[in-house]
Amino acid sequence: LTRIAVFASGRGSNFRSLARAAAADDFPGRIELLLSDRKDAGALAIAAEFGIPSAVVEDGKPRGRLSPASEASLLAACREAGAEWICLAGFMRILGAGFLGAYPDRVVNIHPSLLPSFPGLDAQGQAFAHGVKVSGCTVHLVDAGVDTGPIVMQRAVGAEGARSADELAARILAVEHELYPAALRRLLEEPWERRGRRIVFTRNTEVGP
Ligand code: GRF
């Protein structure tokens, strides 16, 4: 089984969906560790519920780039747990080249929009304010930018009739909870290649250049 570490800063509903999926006998990975940059993260209680070890690395800021020391602590914890893949699940921090270089194309994130539309904070609010009729969610590999890495899987969510950004966010969140475990499973058990910034699953019909 592939060893996975999850990073979460907040309530942790995506972490819960990953933990639930990973508890299935046929899931190709196992969550070894939950790491957070906030000691008030709801994700910590979820880790306890699932019997997943957790640790907090606080560096005094709510978001943005991590300090080199914090990043080194996170990396050390991942190595100690033998983590091979890292899943970001509402982790509000930007990982630097030091961390990403240790896990090339092995850090995944979920973002609540159809990237490349609406990267960054409050994607659902941005989409609602823009008046889009369709939004969705994206699982992507993490590169040095913010929500710019290669796309693994996406799902569309209708935005019509949503009366607020919160209502749109709730619609998207329900789909996130299905997409993230599905995309992780696919990355771990199907053959795929990275061609430039395209992730191509080579077992299905999505061949071509
Ligand atoms: C989700 O909308 C996720 O797409 C974004 O942050 C939010 C985290 O929610 N990256 P939760 O903590 O998983 O409930």
66-88: per-residue pLDDT in tens?
A: 999 999 999 999 999 999 999 99
CA separation for the pair 163, 181 (Å, rounded): 29
* pLDDT 10s digits, 149-160: 999 999 999 999
The ligand 1 atom at the shortest distance from the C-alpha of residue 169 is 2
Query: 136 pLDDT exceeds 70?
Result: yes
Burial class (CB in 10 A: 0-12, 13-18, 19+), 56: middle
Q: What is the pLDDT of residue 206?
A: 59
- Residues within a 6 A CB radius of ligand 1: 8, 10-15, 89-90, 110-112, 173, 176
Average pLDDT over residues 8-16: 98
Is 111 known to be catalytic?
A: yes
Is residue 163's pLDDT more than 70?
A: yes
Confidence label for 63 from pLDDT (cuts 50, 70 and 90): confident
Contacts of 181 (CB under 8 A, 6+ apart): 17, 18, 20, 21, 22, 27
Q: Judge whether residue 208 has pLDDT over 90.
A: no
Q: Residues 175, 133: contact at Cβ < 8 Å?
A: no
In percent, the amount of the chain with pLDDT more than 90 equals 94
Query: Residue 198: is its pLDDT beyond 80?
Result: yes
pTM, full prediction: 0.96
Q: Which atom of ligand 1 is nearest to the CA of 110?
A: 4
Task: Kindly report the average pLDDT of the chain as a whole number.
Answer: 96
Mutate to test the pocket of ligand 1, among 6, 124, 173 (most ligand atoms within 8 A of CB): 173
3-state helix, strand, coil in the chain (%, to 5): 35, 25, 40
Across the strands, what pairs with 88? 7, 109
What local confidence, expressed as pLDDT, does residue 61 receive? Answer: 81
